[in-house]
């Protein structure tokens, strides 16, 4: 230990070595943040101003990559798709997660079974999720065909091959994979609420739904905020699911920014363009995170 010997006087120089073990233990974290997250990000931002192709090189072209990015229909489509998917996914994940948690919180029988059923998709990767839902939504063999065989000859349910519905197809799969986890968080939140609240509400004769809406939900604000941030972070990273389920198609109807980044960095061998797109994604992350960080850490210092 650093403080083995009793020191006399003001050990200004030795202060650095106090709790040396703690500092040594923090080295991996410090290196990761500085080298990978800060360094990597700055590196990416720096090279987004160059015309790097296959290999990074320092030939600055100013804002050219950004100009091209925002004049690219694919990028605009990707941003729009992500915004649409993101809003839908946020709303549905949170509403579904909460409703399911409320249902499970009704002192039901077989709670464990239901919970397991809802949570197990979370164990599967997006690749698997995308593949299986592509299969189920396949018009020749999936739901459409089964319903048709039941006699509804004109029944059409082919979301993945129609540009205007493909995002819903992704949503069905995304929600299947992720809502169980949201439900878990919500359930934990519900159970963190003091039971006396329920007693008080019953004594006051407040209907159950009103208690949820006006009492429980406001009390669960932190859980909602956390869930929101987790889901939002997942949405920005959306990639595997799209690749596995639609490959961005039909056309570019389900392209997302992460795909654009990957495609331009590696397929198009235009690193500068990929880095510019990355930087824009990073900016959007900050737009999501800064309000949250402000909400979370803004008011309470040395609390």
Partner 1 sequence: MVDAAIIITPPSVAVSAVQPRGAKPKARFSGSNIMLYGTLFVVSVYYLLPLWVMVMTSLKGMPEIRMGNIFAPPVEITFQPWVKAWSEACTGLNCDGLSRGFWNSVWITVPSVIISIIVASVNGYALVNWRFKGSEVFFTILIFGSFIPYQIMLYPIVILLRELGIYGTLYGLILVHTIFGMPILTLLFRNYFSSLPEELFKAARVDGAGFWRIYFQIMVPMSLPIFVVALILQITGIWNDFLFGVVFTKPETYPMTVQLNNIVNSVQGVKEYNVNMAATLLTGLVPLIIYFVSGKLFVRGIAAGAVKG
Partner 2 sequence: MNSLNQTATQAAAETTAVQTHSIQVKELTLSFGSVSVLKNMNIDVAEGEFIVLLGPSGCGKSTLLNCLAGLLDITDGEIWIKGKNVTWAEPSERGIGMVFQSYALYPQMTVRGNLSFGLKNARMPKDEIEKRIARAAEILQIEALLDRKPAALSGGQRQRVAIGRALVRDVDVFLFDEPLSNLDAKLRSELRVEIKRLHSRLNNTMVYVTHDQIEALTLADRIAVMRGGIIQQLAAPQEIYNRPSNLFVAGFIGSPSMNFLHGATIEGGGAFQFGRTRVNLAGYEGGAVLDRPRAILGLRPEHLHIQDHAEPGLTIPAVVEIDEPMGADSLVWLEAEGGLKMSVRVPVERRMAAGTEVHLKVDIPKASIFDTGTEQRV
Partner 3 sequence: MKNWKLAAGLLLSVALPSGAYATDLEVTHWWTSGGEAAAVAELAKAFDASGDHWVDGAIAGGGDTARPVMIARITGGDPMGATQFNHGQQALELVQAGLMLDLTDVAVANNWKDVVNPISLLEGCTIDGKVYCAPMNIHSPEWLWINNKIYEDLGIPIPTNWTEFVASAPQVDAAGKIPLALGRQPWQSTLAFNAIAVGVGGLDLWKKVNVDKDMDVAAGPEMLKVFQASADARKLAVKSTVQDWNQATNMVITGDAAGQIMGDWAQGEFAVAGKVAGKDYTCLPGLGLNAYLSTGGDAFYFPKLTDPDKEAAQKRLAALLVSPEVQVAFNLKKGSLPIRGDIDMSAANDCMKKGLEILKSGNVVPAGDQVWSPDVQTQLGDMQSEFWSGDMTPEDAQARYVEILKTGL
Min dist. Cβ of residue 18 to partner 2 (A): 7
Min dist. Cβ of residue 118 to partner 3 (A): 31
Select from 30-38, 58-66, 73-81, 161-169 the region that touches partner 1 (CB under 8 A): 30-38
Residue 247 region, left (φ>0) first, then alpha (ψ -120 to 50), else beta?
A: left
Min dist. Cβ of residue 186 to partner 1 (A): 8
Min dist. Cβ of residue 276 to partner 3 (A): 13
Could you give the string, one character per residue 37-66, with x where binding to partner 3 holds by CB under 8 A and - elsewhere? ----------------xxx-----------
Cα 72 from chain centroid (whole Å): 25
Select from 9-17, 87-95, 225-233, 257-265 the region that touches partner 3 (CB under 8 A): 257-265
The yes or no reply on residue 153 touching partner 3 (CB under 8 A) is no
The yes or no reply on residue 275 touching partner 3 (CB under 8 A) is no
**Alpha-carbon distances, residue 167 vs 24, 186, 285 (angstroms):** 48, 26, 21
The yes or no reply on residue 165 touching partner 1 (CB under 8 A) is no
The yes or no reply on residue 23 touching partner 2 (CB under 8 A) is no
Residue 6 exposed, middle or buried by CB count within 10 Å (0-12, 13-18, 19+) = exposed
Q: State the Cα–Cα distance between residues 224 and 230, nearest whole angstrom.
A: 10
Min dist. Cβ of residue 253 to partner 3 (A): 7
| 231 touches 89 (CB < 8 A) | yes
60 pairs with which residues across the strands? 50
Select from 2-10, 217-225, 232-240, 246-254 the region that touches partner 2 (CB under 8 A): 2-10
Q: State the Cα–Cα distance between residues 176 and 20, nearest whole angstrom.
A: 47
- The two three-digit tokens of residue 107, written as one number: 């002192």
């Amino acid at each position: 230990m650093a403080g083995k010997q009793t020191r006399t006087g003001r050990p200004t120089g030795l202060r650095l070595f106090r709790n040396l073990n703690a500092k040594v233990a923090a080295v991996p974290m410090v290196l990761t943040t500085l080298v990978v997250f800060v360094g990597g990000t700055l590196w990416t931002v720096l090279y987004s101003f160059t015309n790097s192709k296959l290999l990074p090189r320092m030939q600055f072209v100013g804002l050219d990559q950004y100009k091209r990015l925002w004049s690219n229909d694919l990028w605009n489509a990707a941003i729009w798709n992500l915004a649409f998917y993101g809003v839908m996914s946020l709303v549905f994940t949170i509403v579904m997660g909460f409703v399911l948690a409320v249902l499970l919180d009704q002192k039901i029988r077989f709670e464990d079974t239901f919970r397991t059923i809802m949570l197990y998709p979370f164990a599967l990767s997006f690749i698997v999720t995308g593949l299986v839902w592509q299969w189920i939504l396949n018009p020749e063999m999936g739901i459409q065909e089964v319903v048709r065989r039941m006699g509804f000859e004109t029944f059409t349910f082919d979301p993945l091959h129609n540009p205007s519905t493909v995002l819903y197809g992704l949503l069905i799969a995304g929600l299947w994979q992720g809502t169980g986890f949201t439900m878990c968080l919500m359930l934990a939140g519900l159970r963190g609420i003091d039971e006396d609240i329920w007693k008080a509400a019953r004594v006051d004769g407040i209907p159950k739904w009103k208690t949820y809406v006006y009492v429980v939900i406001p009390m669960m604000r932190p859980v909602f905020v956390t869930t929101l941030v987790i889901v939002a972070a997942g949405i920005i990273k959306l990639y595997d699911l799209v690749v596995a389920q639609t490959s961005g198609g039909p056309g570019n109807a389900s392209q997302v920014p992460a795909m654009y980044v990957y495609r331009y960095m590696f397929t198009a061998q235009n690193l500068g363009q990929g880095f510019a797109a990355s930087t824009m994604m990073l900016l959007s992350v900050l737009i999501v995170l800064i309000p949250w960080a402000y909400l979370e850490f803004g008011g309470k210092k040395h609390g």
